[in-house]
Structure 1
Amino acid sequence: MASDHITEIVIFSALFLLVSAMGFVAARWRKAETLDNLDEWGLGGRGFGSWITWFLIGGDLYTAYTFVAVPALVFGAGAAGFFAVPYTIVVYPLVFLVLVRLWSVSHVHGFVTPADFVRARFGSPTLALAVAITGIVATMPYIALQLVGIEAVLKAMGVHGHWPIVIAFVILAAYTYQSGLRAPALIAFVKDVLIYLVIIVTVLYIPAKLGGWGDIFDSARAKFDATEDPGDGILLDGSNQLNYAMLALGSAMALFLYPHSITGVLAAKNRNVIKRNMAALPAYSLVLGVIALLGYMAIAAGVRPVAHNGETDGNTIVPVLFDQMFPDWFAGVAFAAVGIGALVPAAIMSIAAANLFTRNIYREYFNRHATEKQEATVSKLVSLIVKGGAVACILLLDPQFSIDLQLIGGVIILQTLPAVALGLMTRWFHRGALIAGWAAGLLTGLALLYQIPNPAKGKEHFGGSAYPLSDFGLDTRTTLYVGVIALLINVLVAVVGTVVCRAANVRDGVDATREDDYLADENDPKTKEIAMTSST
């Protein structure tokens, strides 16, 4: 009951209100003449230095998903849940050169979204529309996942029902509307301090109470040795090793395709800021590895997820662990770290999705001559709608195994890789072939996801992202990440389609960028207008 958690609720609420106040004050931080344009409201003035960018991107990428879903997966499945650790190590070398090029060309042309770049690079508003819609759709479940994290913490404190999520949404919506990207950038400082504090205390305190790491791993091994589920265990086996590797690689490729990741990058003031952050951000992976181990600590501590009205919520594993192991006052601090860890990325995600709608749907198809103020106004309003949609996901959909939401979003966003990531490196692809590849990959991914059940959760469809290769007629128990299968289909169609289009002399779009645009730095001039050259 909530009355048993008064101290935790008070501390959680106090810290939550503190960062909310910071969100409103952020409008005066690094104050601009006006926030009525997307450069200022949506990208924080494009002037964040290394430290601010470090906290912003870290706060953007390491979310409530990190604290809630990853340990819950480790608790339920064992070693397979550690896929998040290698993918956050692999991702930074992969994107080091690509993101620097994106920052430069966006600086020169005034791009706000990845779809802006695609529009100019391939001369195709249709392809840009596809990228924009994909980004918005993939971001919605990711925002919902942040709200799942807040709800899990509240349940651990005995607070049930969806009304606290609605209140959190209203507060988040209000300060994001007023302050734009400055709000999550400022709050990210508090979020990271709290998370590092909680992790340091957790590593020192909980294992000592549980008898040491040896006992923790012994308890985890005993649990998984007793289960009959294939693939679950403290070590990977032959059935899930390939899926583990491909899931890590696919997730790494998807991470910086998300609109919110790119928003954090475009807010940096120069190329060196991006380079330094890509070199330093792997430090978060060490923290992530410890967070994943919370799943094993929960096993050793005998944690049972919160059950309410006959339903058990697996997302509450870590909050219940904190509640059992820490004194009430520090449990409140830990709960606040998880809750604030949801606010920062949720704000950035809603801003990024709103910018996509404004620049690549509203401006392209409804008001070609929109002023900067009109763009900012539309983006602010759409950010409210996006948050409302995320709340609707929580109210209407089953969030029991919240990691599935993010994995499905990853499969979807991966289909923009040829147009965005490969487009930054080469102009070889034909715009029509990229559209065909995107459609083929998206349909393949959704069709395969639909066929995956999760009997443990009573799901007949969309029960995970590991597709059994036996369904292709192969005599094996091996599974493979759907995102990689769909991406291979996407690239294959794009390559073959490009060859066919070139052979048939099908008219291609005009590239509005130049090679030296991809090497520009902060002192180069910016041009805000994106050429509206041709249509597909």
Structure 2
Amino acid sequence: MTTEIVIFAVLFLLVSGLGFVAARWRRPGDLASLHEWGLGGRSFGSWVTWFLIGGDLYTAYTFVAVPALVFGAGATGFFAVPYTVIVYPMVMLVLIRLWSVSHVHGLVTPADFVRARFGSSTLALLVAITGIVATMPYIALQLVGIEAVLKTMGVTGDLPLIIAFAILAAYTYQSGLRAPALIAFVKDSLIYLVILVAIIYIPVKLGGWGSVFDAAKAKFDATPAPGDGILLNSSNQLQYVTLALGSALALFLYPHSVTGVLASRDRNVIKRNMSALPAYSLLLGLIALLGYMAIAAGITPIGKDTNTLIPKLFDAVFPDWFTGVAFAAIGIGALVPAAIMSIAAANLFTRNIYREYFKRDATDAQEARVSKIASLVVKVGAVLFILLIDPQFSIDLQLIGGVIILQTLPSVGLGLFTRWFHRAGLIAGWIAGMGTGLVLLYNIANPANNHAHFGSSAFPLKQLGLDTKITIYAGFLALIVNLVVAVLATLVARAMKAADGPDATQPDDYHADQGDPRVHDLEVASST
């Protein structure tokens, strides 16, 4: 155990050191602006962007939460694989349009775009608040990953976790987006190394893949429960499909995903990355199988904490030195996205709350300073999510966040293609969708952990009066309500000739690329 702790600590501190050094990497003349601190100067090329977005999207959620769900529920846990397969071709055209209009108008956040597109500070405020709130449980999920590793190594108490996130807060504060961009190279290299070794070494040690799947089937056959099993069944197929589709729609609505995209140098960088990022989906499928390996190895969680399953599996089958490397991969895999997420949420607060409602004439330096402080506050909010919501599977922290962020799809996602919606319609749709989503989540119980509310994101249709055991992703239902209300309210607003906000964008803005005269230098864009 001592060997594991030493190797984990050394690699963790080494990477943290890179986080501080990153302030001098690609350093501009002045780091005191959101374009530099929060978007890395908008200058990242294909390789940096690939590691940055990959490090942003494939997190402790991937390494800890997905295998834990597969261990507990079986085939349902593989929803993460198809959703990360379909998301990249689906969003590529969306993201290049967002990149272009953001660079033409000097936009930093999705709420900035909504403010420009629909001329509504209220709608932009709702989008900003939604992004901040949805990001907090995602950051909390990263905390859970580090906590699981520490617990497996026998490191108890909250102090080590607090120290880890204090270090994260410090280098994020100093280096901004450059820190996770640089660290992502190490993080992804470690994860690829650990997973490639795991998928070869562990099955051989357990008697082959046949033994692994046989053990998983025996476990689910012995403890039958609705929706569990190595194959999908009639009660969970709709949940699987809607969860995969809903998660795909939600993924690039998250502010941290947008941050990685806007930091890219040009549209071709985004196109190349959307073509190459599915390589991570192959890795994700292999990682999910660790859940079945844990069953075959007879692993049981520490207490009722299913997040410790994969760390315990590594501890049981690997030599101590390699276990330390694997634990470091999980820990570092949590630090990178947590840094990007806190930066993205802080940018939302600064641009769309602080500047809009408190100090309209804020300078670049003032914006950067407020954003740095806000990034610290967001991390505290993530800790509160862990204390107040304790679902059976930590993946539900991300899925609950998905229900919330999906409600920005009409204004952000559809807004990139059409100005048809009236701002009053979008606001009404957001209120209806968000209210529906929260009510649905509140009424989802989880007997496994004695939670009467917010137990998961799988809503039982029987609660709508239907005689069925089928469940559906709560976010999918909430989004349908949002869209229906937005359409109806828009028709009513148009019929009443209600005043609509001005559109500050032009059709050509959505196709501009690097070298186009409309794509201003950062100094010009930041002052507009």
Return the TM-score normalized by structure 2: 0.98
1:442 and 2:439 are equivalent in the alignment:
no
1:394 aligns with 2:386: yes
8 A Cα contact 1:315 1:400, kept in partner? no
Alpha-carbon offset, residue 398 of structure 1: 2.6
Q: CA deviation at 1:528?
A: 2.6
Match of 1:80 among 76, 80, 85: 76
- Within the alignment, does 1:452 sit opposite 2:444 as a pair? yes
Residues 41 and 181 in structure 1, CA contact (< 8 A), matched pair in contact too: yes
Bigger Cα displacement from structure 2, 387-396 vs 154-163: 387-396
The one of 353, 359, 374 equivalent to 1:361 is: 353
In the alignment, does 2:133 pair up with 1:141?
Answer: no
Query: How far apart, in 1, do the equivalents of 2:490 and 2:391 lie?
Result: 40
Q: CA deviation at 1:471?
A: 1.6
Partner of 1:38: 34
Match of 1:534 in 2: none
Q: 1:235 aligns with which of 215, 231, 237?
A: 231
In the other structure, the counterpart of 2:278 is 282
Q: What per-residue deviation string (whole Å, max 9, x for no partner) do you get for residues 77-136 of structure 1?
A: 000000000000011111010000000000000000000000000000000000000000
Which residue of the other structure, out of 369, 390, 393, is the alignment partner of 1:377? 369
- The CA distance in 2 between the partners of 1:283 and 1:169, in whole Å, is 29
Question: Cα distance, 1:396 vs. partner?
Answer: 4.9
Alpha-carbon contact 1:109-1:530 (below 8 Å) kept? no
Matching residue of 1:150: 146
Question: Could you say what secondary structure the match of 1:305 adopts?
Answer: coil
Contact 1:184 1:345 in 2 (8 A): yes
After superposition, what is the alpha-carbon deviation per residue over 1:58-95, rounded to whole angstroms, capped at 9, x for unaligned? 00000001111100000000000000000000111110
Q: Post-superposition shift, 1:399?
A: 5.7
1:178 aligned residue: 174
Question: For residue 371 of structure 2, what is the amino acid of its counterpart?
Answer: S
Matched residues, percent identical?
A: 75
d(CA) in 2 for partners of 1:187, 1:242: 38
| Paired residue secondary structure (1:467) | strand
Counterpart secondary structure, 2:430:
helix
Equivalent residue of 1:528, what SS?
helix
Paired residue for 1:347, among 339, 345, 349? 339
Distance 1:136 1:251, change over 3 A: same
Contact 2:392 2:446 in 1 (8 A): no
Specify the SS of the correspondent of 2:472: strand
Distance 1:180 1:490, change over 3 A: same
What is residue 102 of structure 1 aligned with on the other side?
Answer: 98
Amino acid aligned to 2:186: V
Partner of 2:4: 8
> Structure 2: where are the runs of 5+ without partners?
none
In structure 1, give the amino acid aligned to 2:56. D
Q: What's 1:296 paired with?
A: 292
C-alpha separation in 2, matches of 1:452 and 1:84: 21
Measured after TM superposition, the shift of residue 392 of structure 1 is 3.3
Q: Using the TM superposition, give the Cα deviation of residue 219 of structure 1 relative to its aligned residue in structure 2, in angstroms.
A: 0.2
Q: Distance in 2 between matches of 1:244 and 1:80?
A: 6
Q: Structure 2 CA distance, aligned partners of 1:399 and 1:51?
A: 36
Shift in CA distance, 92/25, structure 1 to aligned 2, threshold 3 Å: same
SS of the residue corresponding to residue 86 of structure 1 reads helix
Instruction: Describe the superposition over 1:364-417 as per-residue Cα deviations: whole angstroms up to 9, x where unpaired.
Output: 000000000000000011111111222333345436521111111000000000
Task: Give the residue type in structure 1 aligned to 2:441.
Answer: L
Q: How big is each residue's C-alpha offset from its partner over 1:255-278, in whole Å with a ceiling of 9 and x where there is no partner?
A: 000000000000000000000000
2: CA distance, partners of 1:433 / 1:394 = 34
- The whole-number CA distance in structure 1 between the counterparts of 2:527 and 2:86 is 33
Contact 2:64 2:145 in 1 (8 A): yes
Q: Which of 39, 43, 50 pairs up with 1:47?
A: 43
CA contact (8 A) 2:391 2:451 kept: no
- Summarize deviations over 1:328-351 as a string: whole Å, max 9, x none: 000000000000000000000000
Contact 1:169 1:391 (C-alpha < 8 Å) held by counterparts: no
- Give the residue type in structure 1 aligned to 2:164: A
Whether the aligned pair in 1 keeps the contact of 2:442 and 2:454 (CA below 8 Å) is: yes
1:412-431 alignment to 2 at 5 Å? 412-431=404-423
Q: Which letter does structure 2 place at the counterpart of 1:214?
A: G
What runs of 5+ residues in structure 1 fail to find an aligned partner? 532-536
Q: How far, CA to CA, are the matches of 2:144 and 2:391 in structure 1?
A: 7
Change over 3 Å in CA distance of 1:474–1:394 after alignment to 2: closer
Q: CA deviation at 1:25?
A: 0.1
Are the equivalent residues in 1 in contact too, given 2:114–2:412 (CA < 8 A)?
yes
CA distance in 2, matches of 1:434, 1:252: 21
1:319-330 correspondence to structure 2 within 5 Å? 319-330=311-322
Partners of 1:504 and 1:37 in 2: how far apart? 43
Q: d(CA) in 1 for partners of 2:393 and 2:73?
A: 12
Hey, what does 1:407 align to over in structure 2?
Answer: 399
Please give the alpha-carbon distance, in whole angstroms, between the structure 2 residues aligned to 1:23 and 1:530: 28
Q: Deviations over 1:404-444 (max 9, x none)?
A: 11111000000000000000010000000000000100000
Confirm or deny: 8 A CA contact 2:391 2:449 kept in the other structure.
Answer: no
Contact map agreement 1:85 1:285 (CA 8 A) in 2 = yes
Count of residue pairs brought into register by the alignment: 523
Q: Distance in 1 between matches of 2:469 and 2:166?
A: 47
State which of 468, 484, 493 in structure 2 corresponds to 1:501: 493
> Which amino acid in structure 1 is aligned with residue 299 of structure 2?
V
Task: Say if 1:108 and 1:273 are closer, same or farther in 2 by CA, change over 3 A.
Answer: same
Return the letter of the residue paired with 2:44.
Answer: F
SS in 2 for 1:306: coil
In structure 2, what is the Cα distance between the partners aligned to 1:96 and 1:196?
A: 25
